[in-house]
Structure 1
């Protein structure tokens, strides 16, 4: 019987989900509008419906469900609850997500920050393969991050590590949805690019979306090029801070902007080289790469939480069995 895990990636705009096999094969997938304005109960209802749908699909296909993995925006504590969240998901802060969803279920359930899940997906099947130490970033509605060290996401004292979008890059800068000012995500997220285009390009037809701004810049529209260059510089400032702090082997960047390829990444790399100390981003040159799994990276990584959890449980059971055998042998030898 084929085994599958339910992977769910909760973002501020969309919930991406799927049934993922043990080898990372996507057996079923879908994207659902988050409709964050509906608040906590609306989002929990969507998750219940998604899980129920996947349970029915698995039963119809005779697939064995191994568990549920969830990567969510917000800062996830070690108990699987949302310890902190911005207004991108109203009412989400304080939600005991693992408890809420486990209450009526029978499958193992694992909850992580969404960028930690993205990093796991990329490490498993994407641009992070073969790497035990790297930084993973997601540029979207906000900015999230994950430091992978020793092959595992670093979670920090209470699980909140990776709030790189809320490093201050402009003293007394623009107010952020988190309540602070001058946060990196107010200048380098996709939301920030939308604001920059609106403020600097006004009603020009190419300012209606980030994709349109990039398209205009590619066509040589000088004003659009200036916006993209300034946006790239803001991305680079935050990355340079992380490079100076962690000296990683690579920086992987996920999110919709990765579709812009080298048109964006070469600009970012150039700005990073100009604002990092000698040796940190060169000799050899630090790799700054787009994530390889696209929009499904977080979903695949969420499913990997399940497979990792099962492996740990199996190993723990094996270790317990070995210890029991050792104790039995000692007792027998002493009898």
Structure 2
């Protein structure tokens, strides 16, 4: 039944006289997070966020936050943003900072940030204190390395700092689920020894990755990393092994070799080495080669780069396990 106009007016007058407040949404609250150097209280809804480390811009963008400044690691990408993150960046043009020897404190301060994200910035206590004097700063996770702590730990920490913890957890879970699904779809990967290496050679050595961030993408797909390469790692280093050219035969302990070749010249230099050409995986075509973007995506290991790695690399690994004659050096026996 439609009420007469005078009843509606009377009702409004009564309500006004009673001073009944209109319901309001709860105001956002500051968030306190812990990290390697203690705790940081982040103001609600920070608007001027600076990405002070090598890869944090990807995590911020994945969580819907566009930083006002990002740090260029390598690659000379527009706005220090690689192809896998450009859709999330959109038309934004963040200031690009450099970090040749740690954060550029003066340039960061010039951005007037209300939050500095530095979970992959190589911070020690002194550097953290300098950044924290500029604005609230989130350092690497407690117990994590100064550079390249686990990507999921960084993502969850940044998400909590932004007041977007549930979104960060869902993002991490989604990526891990994608890796699990890819592994299930490729049972032929399970238990296959594989080595990921930089190319070309450096100072007469091949650099192979042993453990951690730069091999997790392989082991999460079911591959294993042969322990034979460990003896070429410097004492106390569990991340990289430096294999002299004359000792390349150790790579015969792998079934698959994945080479981070960033251009055609890198692969040509690699294949010019006779010992390389004689390796069993090379002779069998059990090889995969990256281009510059895929190599960058593997090195970044971020919430935006990892889906790109899955989409691009898994087909190459599928061919490598089966043996791809097209990857053999020209002139190799069939």
Q: TM-score range by the shorter chain?
A: 0.3 to 0.5
Structure number with the higher strand fraction is 1
Relative contact order: is structure 1 or structure 2 higher (C-alpha 8 Å, sep ≥ 6)?
A: 1
Structure of higher CA gyration radius: 2
